[in-house]
Structure 1
Amino acid sequence: MSTGENERDEPQTDDSAATVAGDEGPSSDEKRRLNLEVQITDAGPCKKHVKIVVPRSDIDQQFEESLGNLHKEALIPGFRPGRAPRELIQRRYRKELAGQVKSALVMACMEQLDEEHKLNPISQPDFDFEALELPEDGPLEIQLDVEVQPDFEVPEYKNLVVKRPVRKITDADVDQQYRSFLERYAQLVPKLEGGAEVGDYVVADLTFSLDGKPLNLVNEVQFRLQKQLRFQDGLVPDMASALTGARPGESRTTKAQIGSSSPDPSLRGREIDLTIQVHDLKTLRLPETDAAFFEGIGFDDEQDLKNALRSVLERRVEFQARQAVRRQIVDQLIERAPFELPADLVKRQELSTLRRLVNEMREAGYTDSELRAREAEIRANAHEVTLRNLKEFFLLSKIAEREQIKVEEDDLAEEIELIAIRTDETPRRVRSRLQKEGQMENLATQILERKAIDRILDYITVELEEVATPEEEPAADTLDQTASGTSAGEEDGREPPSTSSEQE
């Protein structure tokens, strides 16, 4: 009769070696196919509900494979690795063994589901792995929801007609940009005479209210009086008219409009009241533009600076023209191939869309104040902006696939080189920064969409249309506060708005 002690000391025979080898199961090159029963049903726009039933025979076989692997590695006191009784290992490592079996089965199911059903998921499945329990008897049932790419036919894109705005930069445009540039170096001084004018700085208390009930009070905030005043969930569309002529001590009232993505759902899309209690007025004193000034900012003289500003304006006008053409192309594509996207997908992409749009405008030469104003507008209407951008992405991606357009490493390197030139950085530093911020995928998407648009432009008719004025955003200053008093991003995890120092 064997005591087990002798088994531990006996050398391993060929038979026992064969037994251990048999525990290894199929090799990685010969993956075992599971006998799955799979049911896939629609669960909403771009969403599938998947039910997977794993038969008991597959569970038992995976159990034997996992037990065999554990048998070779388990450390049991008094036994050499691989020599402990399998029943002992099964009892001692019951929890770990069940976890290994569950993990292996779920991974195999996901791989087989992808290979056999080609769902084209666009995010990780909505699936609670920890809540899944391995049954003692009977089959294992796995249920999950998967977001998939929208299913639509590629619309006809070779017969479009669009208009491209053409505008020449005038000396008056350059003079206006020159003054805006000088304001960066201006001194803010008290305004001792007269009322508020466009371009002045106002120190005031702002009271947002609805139906006579206060929503938020912002004390002694300073902002520049422009056509619009934007805040993180809306705007005052005509702040200039409301405050022009106002003096310290006076109070004015006007209306504010709340965007569709306000942190407070009850305020979305509503018009509310705003009371402005003016405390102080300030104005800008421009610097002396002498030789020392121009030398200090790296230019030879006034004309040298104006030439540089003209280049910035030309880059911006070119950006606006491309955006106008792109908008017309996408409008027609969306009309020809309508499809829906799930709201939760749009919500998750809002921050990524915001970053991308702001980066594109920064590269086009927009100033920090213009970027902050545009960022606030996007935040206030994040759902609509993101929804359109996602539809644009899926449409252009399908067209890129049909046209066999891809983003190569050379494309990324060239784009990084251009960014490095604009930001006065080394390409290596730019690449490192983009990787750290998780923006390389966004950059690749940006390149793919641009290449797709360029290919479409090779086919379609583009009519030139001269315009006298650029397609500019209304002049606006921007506050970091919201009308509701809830910080932007506080309820949904989005990042807070960028400050001026962050934009610089």
Structure 2
Amino acid sequence: MMQVTEIKAEGLARQFRIQVPAADIDKRVQNRLRELAGQVRLPGFRPGKVPVAVLQKRYGAAAHGEAVEQALDESSRNILSERGLRPAVQPKIDIVSATAGADLEFTLAVELLPEVAPPDYGAITLERPVAEPADAQVEETLGRIAETFKGSRPLTEDRAALPGDIVVVDYVGRVDGKEFEGGTAQRAEIELGAGRFIPGFEEQLIGSRPGEDRELTVTFPEAFPAKDLAGREAVFSVHIHELRESEPVLIDDSLAVKMGLDNVESLRKRVRETLVTRLSEASRMRVKRALLDRLAEMYDFDLPQGMVDREYESIIRQLAGEEDAAETADQADAHAHDHDHDHAHDHDHDHAHDHDHDHDHDHAHDHAHVHGDADPGHDPAHAGEAAAQPKLTPEQAAEYRSIAERRVRLGLVLAEIARTNNLQVTQEELSRAMVAEARRYPGQEQNVLKYMRENPAMAEALSGPILEEKVVDFIIEMATVTDKAVTPDELLKPEGDDAPPSSDQPKGQPAGTAEAGSASTEP
């Protein structure tokens, strides 16, 4: 009979010493050998007639290894199940002795999920900002859409270039007298005053005339993406070919047709619907954020350090990935100058959506990660995954760990609410999420879908956010929520404006895309 001794019970940590009788292991070995007897074929023996002794000699060691693995798995599960223990992460098993013919001895260390009481939903009071798009906002959006479709025409008036004009030029840039990659262009169209080129470049073209040559001296910004040019002085030899003026596009039926719609009223309706959707999403994000903040205030309990460690490592991996992506994008931008320089048309023309939409970022603390019981037989963490570690100050590391603790705590709260109220992700919801994810990879949709269906970890990753939203909706429905009318600008205003940095954003770490990284890398 298996012997189990609890040798540690501190907080959420439990540790057991387990001894499985040698007879139990031997029984498993013999059962495995009998299975092999009907499967293997050996010279000199008829199928199914290979003596067990022969099998023991040839396959005994492998069968014993399988028997030990099976005993470890079953024993661990039974110990947890019989005691009603819910592991937070995969339990750790250390084998003390697994010699053939002797008892199997091992230790089992596990961190438990904490007990989480459901909240008093009625005591949760939330304010939900709501807004309706004003006519002026609709017209402003239409104006921005028309701006992206505007063309240009040759300037017929004989005069020098003025702000707002489009100057068609060739240019060659040099640093210390040497040309640099990406510093040359032919017939580039530069809208004076648009601010798309490095400071000082456009300004020095004001007053120029067709046929004129100019030498422009500029200094690349310290934060310029191409590190070898950042902060360096450069001289550009510029030849002016012609002057052009913008040709605005009217907000009329022809603009709507360019957008794939019947008439301007259909376009105006589409824009309004898009703004309504955007405002609704912003409203929900604000009330969700307020809810998570309220839950964070209501709960304070010990956390499984394994879960916190895993979440912290996930944050660091994400940060490292973002830094790598930003560096790659910077390098690509710095060297990708052989493209069309007609910036008046360098836009995506699907503009029924308002493009001024970087107002309501999904902050780090809005992801609570609903946690369920850990599967003792499967570690969903990225075991052995090596990730480049970003350079963090001790202060930043402490703040990121605080974010990890908040996420884990909120995730456990939401998971318990989901469990006690039988909130689940349906197969239909999961399938829709898989299809949506697969669409992010045009041409590879079927391969991506196949991969996701064959990998349970992918389904888990997709179902987590869905369940989180369902739990949030459930709590909001039960809570006391008061709508507060605000203007669209107030609703869409970044929460970081006129406010201290988010507690989830470590000091010295950029909150989103850096200004330098989003600026044009063209001169």
Shorter-chain TM band: 0.5 to 0.7
Secondary structure at 2:272's aligned position in 1?
A: helix
The residue identity in structure 1 corresponding to 2:98 is L
Indicate whether 1:461 and 2:480 are aligned.
yes
Query: Which residue in 2 is equivalent to 1:227?
Result: none
Q: TM-score, normalised by structure 2?
A: 0.54
Write the deviation string for residues 194-222 of structure 1: whole angstroms up to 9, x where unpaired: 69xxxxxxxx99xxxxxxxxxxxx997xx
- Going from structure 1 to structure 2, the CA distance change for 1:181 and 1:135 (only over 3 Å counts) comes to farther
- Mark the runs of 5 or more structure 2 residues left unpaired by the alignment: 154-160, 165-172, 175-180, 184-194, 204-215, 239-243, 322-351, 366-389, 391-395, 498-507, 513-517, 519-523
Q: How does 1:285-364 map to 2 (within 5 A)?
A: 288-289=249-250, 291-339=253-301, 340=303, 342-347=307-312, 349-350=314-315
Query: Which residue in 1 is equivalent to 2:35?
Result: 69
Query: Which residue in 2 is equivalent to 1:109?
Result: 75
Give the conservation status (yes or no) of the 8 Å contact 1:153–1:337.
Answer: no
Measured in 2, the distance between the counterparts of 1:179 and 1:276 equals 36
Once the 2 structures are TM-superposed, how far is the Cα of residue 310 of structure 1 from its aligned partner? Answer: 1.5
- Mark the runs of 5 or more structure 1 residues left unpaired by the alignment: 1-33, 196-203, 206-217, 221-238, 257-273, 356-364, 477-483, 489-498, 500-504
Measured in 1, the distance between the counterparts of 2:408 and 2:35 equals 46
Query: Which residue in 2 is equivalent to 1:401?
Result: 419
The residue identity in structure 2 corresponding to 1:330 is L
Measured in 2, the distance between the counterparts of 1:352 and 1:434 equals 22
Query: Which residue in 2 is equivalent to 1:87?
Result: 53
Once the 2 structures are TM-superposed, how far is the Cα of residue 309 of structure 1 from its aligned partner? Answer: 1.5
Indicate whether 1:472 and 2:493 are aligned.
yes
In angstroms, what is the RMSD of aligned CA positions?
5.6
Give the conservation status (yes or no) of the 8 Å contact 2:22–2:102.
Answer: yes
Once the 2 structures are TM-superposed, how far is the Cα of residue 435 of structure 1 from its aligned partner? Answer: 4.2
Give the conservation status (yes or no) of the 8 Å contact 1:316–1:366.
Answer: no
Q: TM-score, normalised by structure 1?
A: 0.56
Measured in 2, the distance between the counterparts of 1:398 and 1:284 equals 63
Once the 2 structures are TM-superposed, how far is the Cα of residue 96 of structure 1 from its aligned partner? Answer: 2.0
Query: Which residue in 1 is equivalent to 2:4?
Result: 37
- Going from structure 1 to structure 2, the CA distance change for 1:107 and 1:434 (only over 3 Å counts) comes to closer
Write the deviation string for residues 402-439 of structure 1: whole angstroms up to 9, x where unpaired: 233333346557x669979x99x9xx989959946976
Give the conservation status (yes or no) of the 8 Å contact 1:157–1:333.
Answer: no
Secondary structure at 2:33's aligned position in 1?
A: helix
Write the deviation string for residues 247-286 of structure 1: whole angstroms up to 9, x where unpaired: 6744476799xxxxxxxxxxxxxxxxx96558799x9968
The residue identity in structure 2 corresponding to 1:178 is L
Secondary structure at 1:304's aligned position in 2?
A: helix
Give the conservation status (yes or no) of the 8 Å contact 2:2–2:18.
Answer: no
Once the 2 structures are TM-superposed, how far is the Cα of residue 317 of structure 1 from its aligned partner? Answer: 1.1
Once the 2 structures are TM-superposed, how far is the Cα of residue 121 of structure 1 from its aligned partner? Answer: 3.8
How many aligned residue pairs are there? 371
Secondary structure at 1:63's aligned position in 2?
A: helix
Once the 2 structures are TM-superposed, how far is the Cα of residue 162 of structure 1 from its aligned partner? Answer: 1.0
Measured in 1, the distance between the counterparts of 2:247 and 2:57 equals 82
Write the deviation string for residues 281-312 of structure 1: whole angstroms up to 9, x where unpaired: 9x996863464443132123444323212111
Once the 2 structures are TM-superposed, how far is the Cα of residue 350 of structure 1 from its aligned partner? Answer: 4.7
Q: How does 1:105-184 map to 2 (within 5 A)?
A: 105-121=71-87, 123-125=89-91, 134-136=98-100, 138-143=102-107, 146=110, 148-182=112-146
- Going from structure 1 to structure 2, the CA distance change for 1:348 and 1:75 (only over 3 Å counts) comes to farther
Secondary structure at 1:163's aligned position in 2?
A: strand
